[in-house]
Amino acid sequence: MAEPRLERLLVKQLGECCDADVDERLELLSACAETADETADGDVATLATLGDGTRYRLARILAAADGELCVCELEPVVDVSDSAVSHALSDLRDAGLVTRRKDGTWRYYAATERARALFEALDATREGRRD
């Protein structure tokens, strides 16, 4: 048996263990790993985008807003330069967390459903967190 620690865990959980039990668990875990591998790059990039304070704040503001906001509405509420706001919004757009609409010289941004869902998940789990 190639996985002695896994075998010991299964013995503890099941009371006994055979090679078929280990193989079954490894097949299940391999399927989970495949799913993780398929989504990892995009999800890690999305979460990394939110790892910056300015981008997080802008995405959070847009998710809480009722509809689109113009860049000129966002700039006064974050304490960074105009170019930093524009760059952060571009990164959020590239990550699929906000949409952008141009109307002449004006740029309007709105949170995507994915951004809203991420913030809802964070909010829903914040209170119950115990480390």
How confident is the model at residue 2, as a pLDDT? 60
User: Helices 113-126 and 53-64: crossing angle, nearest 10°?
Assistant: 100
Q: Which two tokens stand for residue 61?
A: 């503001």
What is the DSSP code (8-state) at residue 3? Answer: -
Question: Which pairs with CB-CB distance under 8 Å and at least 24 residues apart come from 69-75?
Answer: 69/108, 69/109, 69/110, 70/106, 70/107, 70/108, 70/109, 71/106, 71/107, 71/108, 71/109, 72/106, 74/109
How confident is the model at residue 129, as a pLDDT? 56
C-alpha span between 70 and 78 (Å, rounded): 13
How confident is the model at residue 108, as a pLDDT? 96
Residue with tokens 């999305």: 46
Per-residue model confidence as pLDDT tens for the chain (131 residues): 468 888 888 888 888 888 888 888 888 888 878 777 777 778 888 999 999 999 999 999 999 998 999 999 999 999 888 899 999 999 999 999 999 999 999 999 999 999 999 999 999 987 655 55
Residue with tokens 């000129």: 72
How confident is the model at residue 1, as a pLDDT? 46
Pick left, alpha or beta for residue 104 (phi over 0 → left; psi -120 to 50 → alpha; otherwise beta): left
